[in-house]
Amino acid sequence: MIHLEAVAAGYRTFRLAPATLSFPAGTLTALIGPNGCGKSTMLKVMSRQLRPSAGRVMLGEEDTAGLAPRALARRLALLPQENAVPPGVTVVELVGYGRAPHQNLLGMQTGADREKVRQAMDRLDLLALADREVGTLSGGQRQRVFIAMALAQDAPVMLFDEPTNWLDIQHQVEVLRLMRDLAREGRTCVVVLHDIAQAARYADRLVVMKAGSVIATGAPKAVLTADLVRQVYNLQVEVHPDPVTGTPVPVPLEPGRDRCVEPV
């Protein structure tokens, strides 16, 4: 589990207000909120890419501030929002970089490392692309390669910043199901999502942010109300149950237009 104790952080022009939050093992949490509210900043501070200006980020009983980089990388994986594609690197090589924290200083892969890489590529539907240069792939294929690299890292805490960007609907659903499965396997998964209906459908818990502050946390059905969406996104919605899962789906209202539901 990962726990934030009164953590504050930010930049000259933007501050995260002090937040105390727990992300338990075995749980998928979706971090939602408008553009620029601080979701990526929150993941950066959780993954020590950004130093907190106050408070502590704890992995179990340990303060992440005291962990060596390799020890931290064995325990926590981050998929950033943007990933640079190294020139000339193939899919299998890039996914293999995820094994680096587990290898000796010579960087030799063992049979176990190669198996983890194969499994990660298989889970992201990448085996057929294994020998392709990453730079020649489509946006969605690349995104799946970077998710597979994070998966190959095999860390108990996994943070994903907008992992469904670029993906078609089939691969969006597969990635969200994968995240839910990783949580069911006992990992702590935190995912930034913009599609709040998907967040409500797949996550166990929502953390809702606005302007650098956490303003609500809890189960999607309890948290995702029309009032909350208006307060956070300044948008009028009705909230309807998802016809398949019963989870809340915010449906935007159109000013000056009567509701009109026609058969498809």
Ligand X SMILES: Nc1ncnc2c1ncn2[C@@H]1O[C@H](COP(=O)(O)OP(=O)(O)OP(=O)(O)O)[C@@H](O)[C@H]1O
Q: Does residue number 41 form part of the binding site for ligand X (CB under 6 A)?
A: yes
Q: Does residue number 235 form part of the binding site for ligand X (CB under 6 A)?
A: no
Would strands 76-79 and 205-210 be described as parallel, antiparallel, or unpaired? unpaired
Q: Does residue number 40 form part of the binding site for ligand X (CB under 6 A)?
A: yes
> Least CB distance from residue 125 to ligand X, whole Å?
26
Q: Does residue number 14 form part of the binding site for ligand X (CB under 6 A)?
A: yes
Q: Does residue number 143 form part of the binding site for ligand X (CB under 6 A)?
A: no
* Number of residues forming the site for ligand X (CB under 6 A): 11
Q: Does residue number 39 form part of the binding site for ligand X (CB under 6 A)?
A: yes
Looking up tokens 């730079």, which residue turns up?
135
Q: Does residue number 171 form part of the binding site for ligand X (CB under 6 A)?
A: no
Q: Does residue number 191 form part of the binding site for ligand X (CB under 6 A)?
A: no
CB of 144 or CB of 210, closer to ligand X: 210
Q: Does residue number 188 form part of the binding site for ligand X (CB under 6 A)?
A: no
Instruction: Please identify which residue in 19, 21, 37, 207 interacts with ligand X, judged by CB under 6 A.
Output: 37
Query: What residues make contact with ligand X under the rule CB under 6 A?
Result: 11, 13-14, 33, 35-41
